[in-house]
C-alpha cells in the first residue's frame, strides 16, 4: 500500500496510466489531505529543478587530455579481434580432439556382446507422476507470467 | 537524442584515430562527472581526481563501449566504480555510504545571513550534500542526468525498484531539510 506522498510523487514523476493520473488529479482537487501534500511536493520538485552542477577547476580538461595523451589510442574492439586468430585457435583444438579420438580408437580392442534393453514406460507413467508433472508446469507458467507482467509494468 | 548522436559521432572519430576529439567529450560531460564524484567523495580535490581517473578509464575502454546504451550512462557507471575504489583507498578519511550519522548539518536558516537566504539553490546543494552518497547520487542522476530509473540502476549497480525506493526516501529527507524554505512558499500557495 503506497502512502499519499508516494502516490503523489508517482503522479508528479508522470508514472501510471492516463486513468490513474486522472483519478489522482481529482483526488488532489477534492481531498484536502492530498491537496496539501501535493502543494508541498510540487515546491520540493521546483527546488530540485534549481539544482546546479559543480564546475571542476579550469585546468581539468587540460589535465585529462595530458593523461589521455600518454595512453595507447583506443581502437574498436571488433578491429582489435582478428577473426583469423579465433578460427585458427578453434581449428587447432578441433584437430587436436579428433586426433586424440582417432588415436584412442586405434589403440582399443572392442569385444561386443548382445545387450538387451527393454524399458517399460507404463511403469513410470503413473497418474501421480502425470499430476506432479502438470503441477510443476503450472507453477513454471505462473512464474513466467509474473516476470512477463512485471517487466511490462516496469516499462 | 541529438546530443547522444553527437556523442557517438565523437566516439567514432576517436576510435578512428582523431584522439584530440576526446577533449570535446570531456568538456561536455565534465561537470556532471565531477558533480557525481563530489556526491561520493564530499571533497573537491578527491572528486577532481576521481573524475580525471574516470575519463582516463573511459578513454582506455572506449573500444569496448557498446553503442546500444547512452554514453553518459556508461560514463556514470565508470564514475561510480572509480569513486568506490577511491573511497576504499581513503577509508579513514571518508564516510560510510549509508551512514546518516556523518551527514553535514544544515545551518540554522533562521539565523543565517539574509543575503545567503536568497539563493535557494545554495541551500538545496547543502541539503543534497547532507544526504548519504547513494541518495545524493540518485537525486543528481534523476534530476540533472536525464537518466531513467533503469539507467540509474545500471550506473549504480542496483535494480530499478531499489533506485525507486531510495529516490523516494531521499526526497522525503530533502523535504525535511528544506522545510525552512518550503514553509513560506507553501503558505503563499495556500
Query: For B10-47, how does the pLDDT look when each residue is reduced to its tens digit (9 = 90+)?
Result: 998 998 888 899 999 999 999 999 999 999 998 899 99
> Which value does ipTM take for this structure?
0.73
Looking at the domain assignment, is residue B25 inside a domain?
yes
Looking at the domain assignment, is residue B118 inside a domain?
yes
Here the cell at position A24 is 489522482
How crowded is the C-beta side of B1, counted as CA atoms within 13 Å?
A: 0
Residues B55 and B114 in one domain: no
The structure's pTM equals 0.65
Integer Cα distance of B124 and B121 in angstroms:
5
Residues B88 and B25 in one domain: yes
| Minimum CA–CA partner of B17 in chain A | A73
Please count the residue pairs, one from chain A and one from chain B, whose beta carbons lie less than 8 angstroms apart.
Answer: 120
Residues B80 and B151 in one domain: no
Here the cell at position A154 is 516496469
Integer Cα distance of A79 and A62 in angstroms:
29
Phi-psi domain of A19 (left: phi exceeds 0; alpha: psi -120 through 50; beta: other):
alpha
Integer Cα distance of B50 and B36 in angstroms:
10
CATH of the domain at B139: 1.10.10.10
CATH of the domain at B89: 1.10.1740.10
Residues B6 and B86 in one domain: yes
Residues B119 and B65 in one domain: no
Q: For all residues of chain B together, what is the average pLDDT?
A: 79
Looking at the domain assignment, is residue B104 inside a domain?
no
Pairwise CB contact (< 8 Å): B48 & A71: no
Here the cell at position B69 is 546504451
* Contact predicate B49/B86, CB 8 Å: yes
Looking at the domain assignment, is residue B141 inside a domain?
yes
Looking at the domain assignment, is residue B121 inside a domain?
yes
Q: CB of B23 within 8 Å of any CB in chain A?
A: yes
Residues B21 and B54 in one domain: yes
CB atoms under 10 Å from CB of B185, counted, come to: 18
Residues B23 and B77 in one domain: yes
Integer Cα distance of A137 and A114 in angstroms:
39
Residues B69 and B113 in one domain: no
pLDDT band at B102 (very low <50, low <70, confident <90, very high): very low
Q: What is the structure's pLDDT at A144? A: 92
Q: Which residue range forms the structural domain that includes residue B59?
A: 2-93
Average pLDDT per block of 10 residues along chain A, 155 residues long: 84 86 90 89 84 89 92 75 83 92 80 67 80 92 89 71
Looking at the domain assignment, is residue B101 inside a domain?
no
What is the number of domains present in chain B? 2
Q: CB of B143 within 8 Å of any CB in chain A?
A: yes
CB atoms under 10 Å from CB of B50, counted, come to: 28
Here the cell at position B20 is 584530440
Q: What is the structure's pLDDT at B117? A: 46
pLDDT in tens, A88-106: 999 999 999 999 888 888 8
Pairwise CB contact (< 8 Å): B63 & A77: yes
* Contact predicate B153/B159, CB 8 Å: yes
Cα–Cα nearest to A15, from B127, B173, B36, B167: B167
Looking at the domain assignment, is residue B50 inside a domain?
yes
Of A54, A68, A77, the CB nearest to B35: A54
Looking at the domain assignment, is residue B21 inside a domain?
yes
Amino acid at each position: 500500500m503506497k502512502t499519499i506522498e508516494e502516490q503523489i510523487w508517482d503522479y508528479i514523476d508522470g508514472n501510471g496510466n492516463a486513468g490513474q493520473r486522472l483519478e489522482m488529479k481529482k483526488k488532489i482537487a477534492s481531498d484536502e489531505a492530498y491537496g496539501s501534500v501535493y502543494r508541498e511536493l510540487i515546491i520540493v520538485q521546483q527546488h530540485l529543478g534549481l539544482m546546479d552542477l559543480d564546475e571542476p577547476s579550469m585546468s581539468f580538461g587540460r589535465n585529462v587530455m595530458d593523461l589521455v595523451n600518454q595512453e595507447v589510442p583506443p581502437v574498436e574492439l571488433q578491429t582489435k579481434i582478428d577473426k583469423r586468430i579465433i578460427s585458427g585457435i578453434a581449428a587447432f583444438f578441433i584437430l587436436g580432439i579428433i586426433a586424440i579420438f582417432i588415436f584412442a580408437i586405434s589403440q582399443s580392442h572392442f569385444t561386443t556382446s548382445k545387450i538387451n534393453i527393454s524399458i517399460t514406460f507404463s511403469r513410470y507413467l503413473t497418474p501421480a507422476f502425470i499430476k506432479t508433472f502438470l503441477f510443476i508446469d503450472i507453477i513454471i507458467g505462473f512464474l513466467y507470467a509474473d516476470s512477463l507482467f512485471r517487466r511490462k509494468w516496469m516499462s | 537524442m541529438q546530443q547522444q548522436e553527437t556523442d557517438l559521432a565523437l566516439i567514432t572519430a576517436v576510435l578512428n584515430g582523431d584522439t584530440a576529439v576526446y577533449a570535446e567529450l570531456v568538456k561536455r560531460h565534465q561537470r556532471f562527472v565531477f558533480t557525481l564524484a563530489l556526491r561520493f567523495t564530499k571533497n573537491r580535490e578527491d572528486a577532481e581526481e576521481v573524475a580525471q581517473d574516470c575519463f582516463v578509464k573511459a578513454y582506455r575502454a572506449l573500444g569496448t563501449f557498446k553503442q546500444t546504451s547512452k554514453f553518459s550512462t556508461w560514463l556514470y557507471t565508470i564514475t561510480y566504480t572509480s569513486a568506490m575504489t577511491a573511497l576504499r583507498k581513503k577509508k579513514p578519511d571518508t564516510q560510510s555510504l549509508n551512514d546518516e550519522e556523518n551527514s553535514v548539518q544544515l545551518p540554522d536558516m533562521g539565523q543565517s545571513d539574509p543575503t545567503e537566504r536568497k539563493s535557494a539553490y545554495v541551500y538545496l546543494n547543502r541539503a543534497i550534500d547532507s544526504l548519504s552518497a547513494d541518495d545524493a547520487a540518485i537525486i543528481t542522476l534523476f534530476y540533472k542526468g536525464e537518466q531513467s530509473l533503469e539507467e540509474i540502476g545500471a550506473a549504480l549497480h542496483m535494480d530499478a525498484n531499489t533506485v525507486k525506493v531510495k529516490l523516494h526516501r531521499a526526497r522525503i529527507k530533502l523535504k525535511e531539510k528544506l522545510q525552512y524554505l518550503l514553509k513560506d512558499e507553501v503558505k503563499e500557495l495556500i
